[in-house]
């Protein structure tokens, strides 16, 4: 077997890279360890920067996004019983769109298969050779080797790609809290996202569709999910979102719930020889800034352009710059996600002095146009490299 680019991982990063390469006439094979049903039903958030939606449209995966995505022009920071709107579009000229990662994966799988793409589900990667590039994998009971020009490791934090990079440096921070996230069959109580800070902890009201709400509660990292009944979840959400103007939270049947730990992680470099890391294989951000999926899209956009230049002109200039180019954006997003997380969460280890500083910072962000613009610019996403 031989292809130009072997892609390890069939999540949004790997599938989008395959589609972008296809649009440039570059062949690829996607190897995904899970089955198609699992990949298409894996629940993840979906707050898309404008740059991300532009790339999805460029790839041919924008039709359903444009029809069903919820475009937002602002967000609300809520604390002290009052809401404070940050007008994103007014401040930056850009928007964000709510469209679940699950739906992006469905769109990309359908698109790749319709275009004759080689996407192999339940393909367990056993070994990656970055020098004489090849990927050895087990599929349908047979062990096979896929020879290639380049390997793209898009297989997530727990994948096999990052361990194949010798001498890699890692930087990490764990947070003293986690998110309890739910999906509920109830129309959202808001038209734009609400990021709420209270002494009880952080809460986020997001949207999945006009009929489905996505909500989150700050909990302990070792929280027992079984201790949270539906009634307890709704009561706690209502308490953290409470305002003095009579705003009410709509409640409905909870269809999915999970506790997600929060951490920051970066691996450097994102390249070894002919192996390139992208997405969660190279970096993780806490979800507060909604940057995870957007960083993955940025990575594969940079990589697709670099590979296109290599095949069209023979130049490896952009490939040589890949890691440095991506990491500039990664570290900016890491800082923004860290900043949003520490701004909004109740730190169980903080003293009264730290809590007063946090409240002062919230008041500054919502009263200073310069501070609010900094939040807005980073939230909607900086222009792609």
Of 300, 319, 361, the closest CA to residue 153 belongs to 300
How far is C-alpha 347 from the chain's CA centre? 24
For the four alpha carbons of 40, 296, 385 and 97, in that order, the dihedral sign comes to positive
Catalytic residue among 175, 287, 322, 345: 287
SS3 17: helix
Q: Which of 197, 205, 291, 345 is catalytic?
A: 291
**Is the N-terminal amide bond of 58 cis, ω within 30° of 0?**
no
Q: Which one is catalytic: 72, 197, 272, 283?
A: 72
Collapse the DSSP code of 175 into the 3-class scheme (helix H, G, I; strand E, B; otherwise coil) and give the result: strand
Residue 195 appears among annotated catalytic residues: yes
DSSP state at residue 382: P
- Which of these is catalytic: 99, 150, 175, 195? 195
Question: And the tokens for 208?
Answer: 């999945």
In degrees, rounded to 5, the angle at the alpha carbon of residue 366 between the alpha carbons of residues 363 and 371 is 105
Q: Which strands form 70-72's sheet, in the order they lie side by side?
A: 47-49, 96-98, 70-72
Q: Where are the alpha helices (DSSP H) in the chain?
A: 12-23, 36-41, 50-59, 63-68, 88-92, 101-114, 230-241, 292-313, 317-344, 352-367, 369-380
Question: Residue 274 gets which letter from DSSP?
Answer: T
Between CA 326 and CA 332 the distance in angstroms is: 10
Q: Any catalytic annotation for residue 106? A: no
Kindly provide the b/e burial profile for residues 105-143, where b requires at least 16 CB atoms within 10 angstroms of the residue's own CB.
bbbbbebbeeeebbbbbebebeebbbeebbbebebeeee
Active-site residue flag, 197: no
Q: Show which residues are catalytic.
A: 72, 195, 287, 291, 379
């Amino acid at each position: 077997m031989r292809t130009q680019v072997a892609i390890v991982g069939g999540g949004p990063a790997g599938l989008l890279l395959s589609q972008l390469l296809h649009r440039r006439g570059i062949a690829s094979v996607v190897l995904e360890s899970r089955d198609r049903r699992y990949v298409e039903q894996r629940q993840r958030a979906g707050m898309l920067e404008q740059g991300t939606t532009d790339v999805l449209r460029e790839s041919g995966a924008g039709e359903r996004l444009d029809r069903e995505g919820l475009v937002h022009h602002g967000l609300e920071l809520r604390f002290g019983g009052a809401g404070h709107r940050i007008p994103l579009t007014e401040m930056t000229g850009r928007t964000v769109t709510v469209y679940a990662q699950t739906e992006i994966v469905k769109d990309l799988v359908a698109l790749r298969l319709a275009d004759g793409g080689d996407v192999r589900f339940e393909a367990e990667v056993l070994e990656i050779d970055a020098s004489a590039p090849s990927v050895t994998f087990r599929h349908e009971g047979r062990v096979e080797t896929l020879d290639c020009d380049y390997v793209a490791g898009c297989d997530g934090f727990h994948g096999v790609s990052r361990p194949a990079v010798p001498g890699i440096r890692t930087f990490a921070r764990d947070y003293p809290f986690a998110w309890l996230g739910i999906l509920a069959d109830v129309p959202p109580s808001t038209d734009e996202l609400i990021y709420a800070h209270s002494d009880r902890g952080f809460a986020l009201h997001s949207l999945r569709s006009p009929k489905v709400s996505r909500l989150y509660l700050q909990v302990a990292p070792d929280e027992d999910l079984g201790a949270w009944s539906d009634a307890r979840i709704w009561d706690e959400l209502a308490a953290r979102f409470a305002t003095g103007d009579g705003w009410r939270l709509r409640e409905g049947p909870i269809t999915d719930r999970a506790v997600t730990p929060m951490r920051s992680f970066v691996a450097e470099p994102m390249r070894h020889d002919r192996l390139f890391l992208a997405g969660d294989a190279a970096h993780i951000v806490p979800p507060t800034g909604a940057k995870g999926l957007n960083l993955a899209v940025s990575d594969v956009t940079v990589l697709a352009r670099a590979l296109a230049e290599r095949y069209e002109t023979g130049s490896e200039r952009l490939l040589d710059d890949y890691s440095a180019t991506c990491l500039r954006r990664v570290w900016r997003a890491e800082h923004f996600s860290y900043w949003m997380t520490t701004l909004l969460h109740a730190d169980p280890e903080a003293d009264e002095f730290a809590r007063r500083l946090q409240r002062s910072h919230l008041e500054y962000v919502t009263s200073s146009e310069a501070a609010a613009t900094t939040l807005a610019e980073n939230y909607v996403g900086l222009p792609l490299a």
